[in-house]
Chains A and B, each alone.
Chain A
Amino acid sequence: MANGFSGPVAQIVDNYLDRLKKGLRGIPAKDQEDLVKEIHSHIYESFRNDPTPDEVSRILKVLDKLGEPAAVISARMPEAMVTLGKKKKLPFLILAGLLIAFFGVPLGLGGLSAAVGLLIGVLALVVSFYIVAFSMILTGWLSAIILIIRLFVPGFLDPWMDIYPLVPDPTFNLVIYILGALLISALGFGMLWLGSRMLRGIRFVFRLLFEKIKNWRKRKTAPAQ
């Protein structure tokens, strides 16, 4: 990428911008590009105005003043996502969630347990949805391939296959089955597409919930005097 710098300085800038881009996944592409361009411009101007003679120390100083990509991103992304990404707490959160789900009710965390249970339920739903989608694609393609082979090699896999004749002409019958198999895999792909929509929706709902809980917790912890 031509970023207006050269040598090791260019590499350092590229590395920073790459990390920025990675952190921006999930916001609209146009906003992403815009922000990356803007930060690039900032780095350029800051670099141009800094008097440090050694270029590498200068660029490091510039980026240090700018802050980690997370600082640039934070308010653009829903807060929950950034903190999760930044602090790498996810495994801990999952463990905590499971503990609360199993032992929460006797400890008096009824409401929270219900929320975590709901979360796990939704997760199971998502997982099973994807398993169905993938198996539809897999079986669709496999049967299509076997049926196409049968088209050219009559009796292929005959001991295991018993194809019900929908129409009297065997070739036409096979073609109908192939189309059916392809349709099933297409449905599987359709489910994948729907799934990405669904995931976005679910993520959105949980993010809202998460923010609500956090705000509520803040209010509880620090009551206004």
Chain B
Amino acid sequence: MYYIVSGYNMENKITQLRKGILELAILGALSRGRHYGYSLVRTISGTSDIDLTEGTIYPILGRLAKEGLVQTEWVESSQGPPRKYYTLTVKGEEAYRTLGEEFRKLAEIVDNARRASAPDDESADYQVLSVTKETNNG
């Protein structure tokens, strides 16, 4: 009965994938020094043509602050309104190391899986029992 409600949604998949990785990118940028929101956006999206909704970094930053991975500080700017700067805490540095290592391993898995060959069933004596149909409910 629930299958009707949620279909396959590419946008959702991309959002989910981005959320965690964006968080890691933010921690990575902050590991090189303090940033304010806009400079983070520039740093993260500046080098690629990824279509990033800039506003989405703020909820992530808010959560990181709540978790104690970053600390914040309002600093007067020589031009315009004050900027809210983010710095990595010791806990944040640790988290970045652990998550970064995990990400490296996962990227490796994805890459290896792509290269690996499928099991060689041609020689085996097997019978098709059932086939799932391709559905389109998205």
What is the CB-to-nearest-CB distance from B37 to chain A, in angstroms, rounded to a whole number? 5
Per a CB cutoff under 8 Å, which of B3, B56, B81, B84 touches A67? B56
Whether B80 and A41, one on each chain, are in contact in the complex, defined by CB atoms closer than 8 angstroms, is: yes
Whether A37 and B59, one on each chain, are in contact in the complex, defined by CB atoms closer than 8 angstroms, is: no
What is the CB-to-nearest-CB distance from A52 to chain B, in angstroms, rounded to a whole number? 16
Say yes or no for A46: interface residue by CB 8 A criterion.
yes
Whether A4 and B81, one on each chain, are in contact in the complex, defined by CB atoms closer than 8 angstroms, is: yes
Say yes or no for B63: interface residue by CB 8 A criterion.
yes
Whether B56 and A41, one on each chain, are in contact in the complex, defined by CB atoms closer than 8 angstroms, is: no
Question: Which one of A124-132, A155-163, A216-224 is at the interface?
Answer: A216-224
Looking at A4, A44, A109, the one whose CB has the most chain B CB atoms below 10 A away is A44
CA gap between A31 and B39 in the complex, in Å: 21
Which residues from chain A contact B63 at a C-beta distance below 8 Å?
Answer: 75
CA gap between A217 and B4 in the complex, in Å: 11
Which residues from chain A contact B5 at a C-beta distance below 8 Å?
Answer: 217
| Size of the chain A interface, CB-CB below 8 angstroms | 31
Say yes or no for A19: interface residue by CB 8 A criterion.
no
Describe A's contact surface by its main secondary structure: helix
> In chain B between 52 and 68, which residues have their CB closer than 8 angstroms to a CB of chain A?
53-56, 58-60, 62-63
What is the CB-to-nearest-CB distance from A79 to chain B, in angstroms, rounded to a whole number? 11
Which residues from chain A contact B128 at a C-beta distance below 8 Å?
Answer: none
- Interface bin, chain B: 20 to 34
Per a CB cutoff under 8 Å, which of B2, B55, B80 touches A39? B55
Whether B53 and A75, one on each chain, are in contact in the complex, defined by CB atoms closer than 8 angstroms, is: no
The residue in chain B whose Cβ has the minimal distance to the Cβ of A107 is: B1
Which residues from chain B contact A40 at a C-beta distance below 8 Å?
Answer: 81
Whether B81 and A41, one on each chain, are in contact in the complex, defined by CB atoms closer than 8 angstroms, is: yes
Which residues from chain B contact A39 at a C-beta distance below 8 Å?
Answer: 55, 58
Chain A window 1-14, contacts with chain B (Cβ cutoff 8 Å), 1 for yes, 0 for no = 00010000000000
Whether B55 and A66, one on each chain, are in contact in the complex, defined by CB atoms closer than 8 angstroms, is: yes
What is the CB-to-nearest-CB distance from B50 to chain A, in angstroms, rounded to a whole number? 12
Say yes or no for B123: interface residue by CB 8 A criterion.
no
A residues contacting B by CB (< 8 A) are 4, 31, 34-35, 37-42, 44-46, 48-49, 65-69, 71-76, 109, 217-218, 220-221
